[in-house]
Structure 1
Amino acid sequence: MKQLGIGVLVCLLGYYGNAQTAQQLAYIDTYKDLAVKEMKRSGIPASITLAQGLLETEAGTSDLVRRSNNHFGIKCKSTWTGPSVSHTDDAPNECFRKYATAEESYSDHSNFLKGSDRYSFLFDLASNDYKGWAYGLKKAGYATNPNYPKMLIKYIETNNLQQYDQVEMIPGDIAITAPEKLPEVKPVVKPEKKSPLAKVAEVVEKIVKPTPVVVKNPKLMAAKSKVNGIKALFAQKGTSLLAIATANDIPLAKLLEFNDRDTDGLLNEYQVIYLDKKMKQGNKYVYFSLQDETLYQVAQNFGIQLQYLVQYNNISGSARVKKGQKIFLKPTANTELTKSR
């Protein structure tokens, strides 16, 4: 809902041409569940909702969203009776809706689109037709920027947001054969029918066949990109680290080391998995947490070795970071670095 100047637009288009940024990833990780929840409730593609949120809030950093929890740039209109804030957008000091939580904003965004006749045709589209929705929103007058559809689509495809439109689809599996067990030998003694005193021992070998271990296909469950210049996979919940290591020809021990992990297992959340050693510092100086999270999650989102993030902030690697807390991604003047392992 913003009228962007030509100079700002050029900068934005250049920005969108870059690889997925850590700030975008942090926003997606924070609000993806809300977007999916609203998709199931209203029929609006989760990819569209997330892309609009990323664009309108500048990945959660805009002045408007910080003051109002308004993630979609929805103005007051004559029907709004709730709290509001003044913000300069198309005109000075316009009235924008204010929400107590981000969840209220996401819910109101769905209600706003569902409750307006001018957007009704969009709900005839398939829930995974994000391109149709992007151009339809512009056609219905959601935004004045002529490049609005392309910007949404770029956000979706750069960040692989379309995967959230398919959350109920079952991905394909691949089978990795478990180590073969040694043959188990069981002697079986059979009596000789003609002579009860004479017996012939027959040895029957039972070969235990390899048991297939089914793991989620990392190619179907992850999108490759780069974070902080490091090759990474954006892996979905339930993805096997062993499968990722095998598919990318990386020793499992190395993959665990790259990602500050001690043990193998299935991922319990959508997260970044690095295919090479992370950097010692981030690509920006400081980060204000968008949610309650662990320092490990911050390290993964920004492609930084956890041991260095611990030193920059003088807190433990398992410490929880509160929403709005300042986290240093680079060493400060007071940082005392210990020798890397």
Structure 2
Amino acid sequence: MKKIFLALAIVSFSKTYAQYWANEDQYIQNFALYAVEEMQKYKIPASITIAQGLLESSGGQSKLARQGNNHFGIKCKEDWTGPSMRHTDDAPNECFRVYSSVRDSYEDHSKFLAYRKYYRKLFTLDPKDYKAWAFGLKKAGYATNPKYAYILINKIEKYKLHKFDDDTTPQSVYATLLTLYPDLYSNKEFMAKANAQNTENTIAANDNNTKKVSPTVVVPYKQTSYAEQVRRRDAIEKNANDTWQNVLVRNHPNGDRKYIIVPLATNVDFLAQKYDIRGRRIMRWNELESANIPANSIIFLESKSGEGNVSTYIAQQGDTMYSIAQKFAIKLHRLYQRNRMDEGQELQIGQVIYLQGRKPKN
């Protein structure tokens, strides 16, 4: 991971509402994090999401974006029950979705692609092949502009958005932003928010008098002095601690169940101490077979549901029954039962996975 001692609060982004952005670079700086978060959950390339947001919202300045927080031009469709607004697009006075925040717009964009049959083939593509995704979106009918795919590709390559496809954590996003936009180092507002968050985290850490379990830190061996080894160890530990301080407890769409995305490889004991939950409960709620937890794992901090919040899901490349159970906050044994599968049975790419009800008998 790129080493930067920066813990910019995610919440600072979520406080923006229906604002103007002076240019597309500022749009990227504000919303790249959302795109990467959605990529982790739904496997839609962050570069594609950012490029679509730039294009569909005119860099956040369109009427739909400013008045409805709709950054992807998503129309109401037959299943929309939320607030809406009228806007002339392909036809006069069409119905478009309205969101309470930009983050909600990004989340709904992911669901719009993931849960509709027209876009199923997209999820068999390499998530880092942004060109294939761009042409796939056009072929699936996302937009009527015949040059839509080429416009997306142009924006991705112009702003080097493909670099965000390699990011997995908020800190790696900020590292990429600072690489693309080094002037952010001298941005007083940007750095003030970062420093303020660091201060809050330090105070919170000092107020916690309980014995803490430190995250496991591996220091690469290099023949050098003992003092240098200690310095390098301390630097790596500080970077790991900064990363954990930046982890948000999120609410899953399936019943608002609390969960986190683990930024670094860790273990159950560390999470139990950090979140004041018994380790065996974390093991049971997440159906863990080992106390060791890999980076980027979805870990629930309460029990999952017996069913999903949507009816079905199309298995994508890299999916397992366990990863789907975590993605949709559904108990693994119930997922096997709903799909009439034996526990441990493997799924196939493109297979319809039932999250509600049961798979029909053949």
TM-score bracket for this pair, using the shorter chain length? 0.3 to 0.5
The structure with more strand, counted as a fraction of residues: 1
The structure with more helix, counted as a fraction of residues: 2
Q: Which has the larger radius of gyration?
A: 1
Of the two structures, which has the highest relative contact order with CA contacts closer than 8 Å and spacing of 6 or more? Answer: 2
